């Protein structure tokens, strides 16, 4: 049973990350791959830029792994990789891979992992648009969201 956690400026290799969680005892590997899309609210997005408070982000990612294992004790391996810096359109910014003996566990755990990552891990993104504008965005799920935005 392993947790593979990484924040990196390098391109994420989905196949290699999937291989990290492969185990002979597992009949399921579930993946979530978050990619940069080319639009947001009628604006053309050319890239995303990510920053993180890395020590705290890794600590929160480890906490997510612990919570997943507590809820689903049959999880074998977990990988949570998040890219930092510029991520062009169609490239992966986050990959979560979880292996377990059966698909239900891995599918549910991957879903919980991405939701918890967005809520708790201090990673911020800036959308860069084709008009050279950019806008830092906070995840609507994040726990440190301002009161004003919670009321919207």
Q: Has 102 been labeled as part of a binding site?
A: yes
What are the tokens at 92?
């992966």
Q: Has 127 been labeled as part of a binding site?
A: yes
Which pTM value belongs to this model? 0.88
Domain boundaries, the chain: 2-129
Q: Has 137 been labeled as part of a binding site?
A: no
Q: What is the pLDDT of residue 150?
A: 46
Q: Has 133 been labeled as part of a binding site?
A: no
- Classify domain 2-129 at the CATH class level: alpha beta
Average pLDDT value for the chain: 91
Q: Has 54 been labeled as part of a binding site?
A: no
Q: Which helix (H) or strand (E) holds 31?
A: strand 28-35
Q: What is the pLDDT of residue 130?
A: 87
108: exposed, middle or buried (C-beta count within 10 Å: 0-12, 13-18, 19+)?
middle
Give one word for 132, left, alpha or beta, with left for phi > 0 and alpha for psi -120 to 50: left
Between 63 and 137, the more confident residue is 63
Nearest to 13 by CA among 78, 112, 83: 83
Q: What is the pLDDT of residues 104-151, one digit of tens each?
A: 999 999 999 999 999 999 999 999 998 877 766 666 655 555 444 444
Q: Stretch 11-29: mean pLDDT, rounded?
A: 98
């Amino acid at each position: 049973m392993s947790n593979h956690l990484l924040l990196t400026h390098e391109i994420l290799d989905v196949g290699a990350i999937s291989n990290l969680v492969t185990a002979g005892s597992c009949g399921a590997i579930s993946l979530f791959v978050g990619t940069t899309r080319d639009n947001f609210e009628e604006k053309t997005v050319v890239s995303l830029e990510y920053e993180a408070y890395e020590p705290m982000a890794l600590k929160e990612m480890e906490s997510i792994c612990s919570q997943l294992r507590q809820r689903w004790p049959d999880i074998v391996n977990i990988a949570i990789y998040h890219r930092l810096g510029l991520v062009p359109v169609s490239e992966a910014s986050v990959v979560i891979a979880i292996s377990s003996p059966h698909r239900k566990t891995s599918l549910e755990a991957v879903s919980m992992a991405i939701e918890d990552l967005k809520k708790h891990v201090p990673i911020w993104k800036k959308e860069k648009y084709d008009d050279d504008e950019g806008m830092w965005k906070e995840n609507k799920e994040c726990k440190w969201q301002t009161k004003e935005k919670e009321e919207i």
